[in-house]
Amino acid sequence: MSGLSNSLSQLTLALARLNGLVGGLGTNRVTERVIERVEVASSAGSDLAKLTFTADKESLDPGDKIVFTVKIEPFINLTNAILAVKLDPGFEFESTSANSYSKSENTFVYNLGSVTTGSVQTFTINARLKSDFKADDAEDGKITSAATFSYADANGNVKTPLFSSLDVKIGGTGFFAGIFAAIPGGATVTILLIALLILLVVIAIRKLLS
């Protein structure tokens, strides 16, 4: 029981770290776009387990969907295993592949209990960038989500949690970004508006040459 208490204590500290990373970013945003497909594995405790946190999109506009995937790969038998994922407030949660989990705002906790060697645990979270996301609310043009895996060895000895964060850059760059960043409706509306602008330019050039 003391091992579980220690794991929960470690998780609390880890969540505080998550809040420090994500909590101050606000709930709306958008401007420089490109979510980078990032696969990050924490080095802490890498001899015992590996944590991988990825996203399936390279770019996002307001209203676009995204799938986050978190993988836990244990190299030994683990106990008191707990996975916590905190999505940036700019995302709206839609669903997760797990049957059992707890949720508080955009933080999801998966109590895995005992995990055996080699049994890879994979969880997906389906989310959407808020349709009213504002460019000015993004810190340095990006939003951050993070995952923390706390655990103990087979004897209940609590180990250092694994931590992995994922930066997502939002919006386009250059001239068109300045015009379309604030337009709701996601990528489809933006593409149509760009096509219309190009058409108008072509018509104007033809008139000048005629």
Write the pLDDT tens digit of every residue in 107-138: 999 999 999 999 999 999 999 999 998 877 77
Handedness of CA 71, 75, 78, 80 (dihedral sign): negative
pLDDT of residue 200: 84
Q: Contact, 141 vs 158, CB < 8 A?
A: no
- What is the extent of the structural domain holding 122? 2-209
SS3 content of the chain, % helix, strand, coil (to 5): 25, 40, 35
| ∠ Cα 19 14 125 (to 5°) | 70
pLDDT at 29: 34
Closest CA to 141 of 106, 177, 175: 177
Q: For residue 199, what are its two tokens?
A: 């058409």
Please provide the average confidence, as pLDDT, over all residues in the chain: 76
Mean pLDDT, to the nearest integer, of 161-178? 69
Domain count, the chain: 1
Query: Who wins on pLDDT, 165 or 38?
Result: 165
Residue 93 maps to which CATH number?
A: 2.60.40.1510
| 184 DSSP assignment | S
Quickly count: other Cβ atoms within 10 Å of residue 69's Cβ: 16
pLDDT at 210: 74
The model's pLDDT over 64-99, given as tens digits with 9 standing for 90+, comes to 899 999 999 999 999 999 999 999 999 999 999 999
